[in-house]
Amino acid sequence: GRTTVELIKKEGTPLGLTISGGIDKDSKPKVAQLKPGSVAQKSDVLEIGDVLLAINGIKTAGLKHEQVIDLIKQVGDQLT
């Protein structure tokens, strides 16, 4: 099933997740790593291998790896 995850962080604080995949990597964008103690890890919702279907309402299908990373970098203090 699908789950909507909302991460709230302090500005300037990293989310603490590493993303792999993208249309140029022949796989869907997904969570590759969760940094211990990070906002992403403490959410207790995200798991390694989870596919990112959208970031703040923008679908990731068809995006290159770097475009997905740029979307994450552009978020303020909230990522959905």
Q: Which domains does the chain have, with CATH numbers?
A: 7-79 (2.30.42.10)
Q: Give the torsion sign (CA, 6, 57, 67, 10).
A: negative
Q: How far lies 4's CA from each of 14, 24, 25, 77, in Å?
A: 20, 25, 24, 17
**Are the CB atoms for 79 and 15 separated by under 8 Å?**
yes
Q: What is the pTM of this model?
A: 0.89
Summarize pLDDT for 3-61 with one digit per residue, the tens.
999 999 887 788 999 999 999 999 999 999 999 999 999 999 999 999 999 999 999 99
In whole angstroms, give the CA distance from residue 79 to residue 11.
12
